[in-house]
A = this chain, B = another copy of it.
Amino acid sequence: MTDSQPIAVIGGLGSGLSAHLAARLAARGYRVAGLSRRGTPPPAEAPGCRAYACDLADGAAVADTFAAIRADLGAPSLYIHNAAQRVVGDFLDTRPEDFERLWRTACLGAVHCAQQVLPAMLEAGRGTLIFTGATGSLRGGARFSAFAASKFAVRALAQSLARAYGARGIHVVHTVIDGVIWSDGVAARHGMAQEDCLDPGAIAEAYLALVEQPPSCWTHEIDLRVAKETF
C-alpha cells in the first residue's frame, strides 16, 4: 500500500455491479471503499475492498464516513454512485413517503457524497464522478413515477456537476443502464434468462474505460443495454 495508489469509493455496495467494480478497480491498483446502509462485507471478488456502513441519505453519517475513508485510505479520486431503490406500481398506490425515500437514496445521497469528494478533487485538479442511471432516468414510465422522479433528479445533478467542474478537471459521467443487470437473485425473483440481462462484469469494464478517458476526450452520457433489448 503506497501513497500513489488511487482511492475509489462506491456508494451503494452490495449489488452485483458494485462487486464487479470493486474487483476490477482493485486489480487496477485502486484502494476501494464500499458504502452500504448495513455495512455489507466486501464482495468475495474484491477481498481488499473496505466496507463502511453508512446511510447515504444522512448527511452527518456521510461526512463521518468520508472522514474515516480519508483517514484510512486517503482522498478519493473516483466516486461511483450506484445507490438507488425502486418502487413499481400505480401512482395512486405509491405513497409520498416512497417518493421521498427513493429521492433521498438516489439524489440526496449523491449530493452528500459529491460534496464530500469534490473539494479535494478540485484542489488536485482531477477526479471522476460516475452516476449510475437507468431507463427511468430518461423516461417516466406509467408504473415508475417515484423511481423515474428520483432518477431524473440524479441526471440533472450529473449534468450540473459536469458543466460546473469539467473545465476544472472533474470528469462527471451519467450512465443509462437500459435493462436488468444479471444476478442469481434476478433469475430467482423474475425467472429471467442470463442472455436477456446486462452482464455486471461488462458494465464494470465500460465504467473502467470511462474512468481512463483522458481530458481530451470525455464522455458525459452513455447508454448500455443487452443486444436483444428493445428500445
Given A198-B217, A217-B203, A231-B220, decide whether A148 and B160 contact each other with a Cβ distance below 8 A. yes
4 more A-B residue pairs beyond the given contacts A217-B224, A218-B224, A218-B226, with a C-beta to C-beta distance below 8 A: A91-B160, A143-B164, A218-B225, A222-B223
Q: How many chain copies?
A: 4
Q: Are A171 and B227 in contact (CB under 8 A)?
A: yes
Q: Which residues of B contact A90 (CB under 8 A)?
A: 164
Q: Residue among A140, A169, A209, A213 with the most chain B CB within 10 A?
A: A140
Q: Are A99 and B107 in contact (CB under 8 A)?
A: yes
Pairs A–B under 8 Å by Cβ, sample size 5: A91-B161, A140-B160, A148-B159, A197-B216, A219-B223
Chain A's interface size range is 35 or more
Please name the 10 residue pairs, one residue from A and one from B, whose CB atoms are nearest each other, closest first: A140-B159, A202-B217, A199-B216, A215-B227, A145-B160, A152-B156, A148-B156, A142-B163, A140-B160, A152-B152
User: When the two chains form the complex, which single residue of B99, B119, B164 contacts A108, counting CB atoms closer than 8 Å?
Assistant: B99
A window 191-229: CB within 8 A of B: 195, 197-199, 202-203, 205-206, 209, 213-229
Q: Are B107 and A149 in contact (CB under 8 A)?
A: yes
Q: Residue among A99, A149, A218, A229 with the most chain B CB within 10 A?
A: A149
A27 at the interface (CB under 8 A from B): no
